[in-house]
Amino acid sequence: MADRNALRTRLLSLLVAETRQLGEFAQLLEREQQILGQRDVEPLFAISEEKNRFARQFQQFADSRTAVLTQAGVEASREGVESLLDEADLPAWQTYLELAIRARNLNETNGLILTQRLAHNHQALAILMAHSDQPTVYGPDGASRTRPGSRSLGSY
């Protein structure tokens, strides 16, 4: 087992860095929520890429944290982290936990907003298709299509 104090210092360093990333991630989720309330959702593509980048970083942090805890001979869990940290380190751990909860709640809220928006779009599309007086047929790929052989507006 490696020097416990060195492992504690390494764990604390990881927590501080990950807490900083969690703060940035929460800000990104707040921007996502604002965009979800707008008509133009084009910026969501860039936000999705950023979220994927954060996910990779958070996985690296988790792997590093697990390695430190394993070297310390404690379980890779909340209890393991708390057992390795000194009492003076606990405020940093508490800040980390609070930001993680905030980010999780923002992400869940954004998921609900997105689900509602998708349901609304599906309902609007169903209404438009029902009132289009166009027969629905199925293409060779099994997908439904309207008006086989029809042209789009503005085409020749």
pLDDT per residue over 33-87, tens digit each?
999 989 888 999 999 999 999 999 999 999 999 999 999 999 999 999 999 999 9
pLDDT of 136 above 70: no
- Spatial separation of the C-alpha atoms in residues 116 and 113, rounded to whole Å: 5
Tokens of 95: 């800040």
Amino acid identity of residue 81, one-letter, is V
pLDDT of 151 above 60: no
User: What's the Cα-to-Cα distance from 65 to each of 24, 26, 94, 102, rounded to whole Å?
Assistant: 20, 21, 16, 21
User: What value, to the nearest 5°, has the Cα angle with vertex 87 and ends 85 and 91?
Assistant: 90
What pLDDT score was predicted for residue 52? 97
Its pTM surpasses 0.85 = no
Return the C-alpha torsion angle 32, 37, 38, 44, nearest 10.
20
- Assess contact for 79 and 1: CB atoms under 8 A: no
CATH homologous superfamily for the domain 4-146? FlgN-like (1.20.58.300)
Q: Exposed, middle or buried by CB within 10 Å (0-12, 13-18, 19+), for 109?
A: middle
What pLDDT score was predicted for residue 149? 53
Closest by CA to 10, choosing from 60, 69, 58, is 69
- Spatial separation of the C-alpha atoms in residues 42 and 33, rounded to whole Å: 13
